[in-house]
């Protein structure tokens, strides 16, 4: 499977590159973004970011064996957010982030629709899961808009907060996604 370059009306969705580090540090260094994510520390750690990007780039070398695949997405040639699928050898779980200047403009819904479409077109997975902290209604709304359904309440560990927070777990089937298009 080749590395995808997915074009939408406003976005280019692509695998991460090592030269994304400075822009990731800028956008993920915003506490309002980091506090809603499970694995991003605050303040943003450049060395950890560099290592994470290197692993993300390497995973695309052998997609069929990857446990996780990440995407970054650009608007007008500039990185504005990212998303990823983890647990690819099981039921994939999607996670995503968007730089604060780009909130409320529909970019995340556009990126998720394209990336989930890519996942279902290129794998045999029958369902996908997601989680969002209960205090993050925007993320929950995006998942609902995509067709995810609530399946339970869970705890979501937050590295930036050093705590586990209440979250909602959601799932969507391939059929739900295809019927929602």
CATH class of 6-127: alpha beta
**pLDDT tier at 180, thresholds 50, 70, 90:** confident
Helix (H) or strand (E) holding 169: strand 163-173
Beta strands 127-133 and 78-86 are unpaired
Model pLDDT for residues 126-144, shown as the tens digit of each residue: 999 999 999 999 999 999 9
Tell me the C-alpha distance between 131 and 75, whole Å.
25
In the three-class reduction of DSSP (H, G, I as helix; E, B as strand; rest coil), residue 34 is classed as helix
What are the residue ranges spanned by the domains of the chain?
Answer: 6-127
87: left (phi over 0), alpha (psi -120 to 50) or beta: left
Q: What is the mean pLDDT of the chain?
A: 96
Kindly tell me if the per-residue pLDDT of 165 is higher than 70: yes
Sheet holding 6-7, edge to edge: 6-7, 11-14, 68-75, 78-86, 93-98, 127-133, 163-173, 149-158
- pLDDT tens string 26-60: 999 999 999 999 999 999 999 999 999 999 999 99
Give residues with Cβ within 8 angstroms of 142, minimum separation 6.
96, 108, 109, 112
Query: Do 88 and 68 touch, CB atoms closer than 8 A?
Result: yes
* CA–CA gap between residue 44 and residue 39 (Å, rounded): 11
Q: How far apart are CA 82 and CA 16, in angstroms?
A: 8
- pTM for the full predicted model: 0.95
Q: Helix, strand or coil for residue 83?
A: strand
């Amino acid at each position: 499977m080749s590395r995808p370059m997915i074009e939408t009306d406003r976005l280019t969705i692509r695998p991460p590159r090592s030269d994304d580090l400075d822009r990731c540090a800028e956008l993920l260094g915003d506490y309002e973004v980091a506090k809603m994510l499970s694995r991003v520390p605050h303040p943003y750690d450049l060395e950890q970011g560099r290592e994470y990007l290197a692993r993300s780039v390497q995973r695309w070398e052998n997609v069929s064996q990857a446990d996780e695949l990440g995407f970054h997405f650009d608007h007008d040639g500039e990185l504005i957010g990212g998303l990823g699928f983890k647990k690819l050898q099981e039921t994939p779980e999607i996670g995503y982030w968007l730089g604060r200047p780009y909130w409320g403009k529909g970019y995340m819904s556009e990126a998720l629709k394209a990336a989930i479409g890519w996942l279902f077109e290129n794998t045999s997975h029958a369902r996908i899961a997601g989680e969002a902290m209960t205090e993050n209604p925007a993320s929950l709304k995006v998942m609902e808009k995509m067709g995810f359904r609530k399946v339970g309440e869970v705890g979501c560990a937050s590295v930036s907060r050093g705590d586990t927070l209440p979250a909602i777990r959601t799932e969507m089937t391939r059929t739900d996604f295809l019927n929602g298009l």
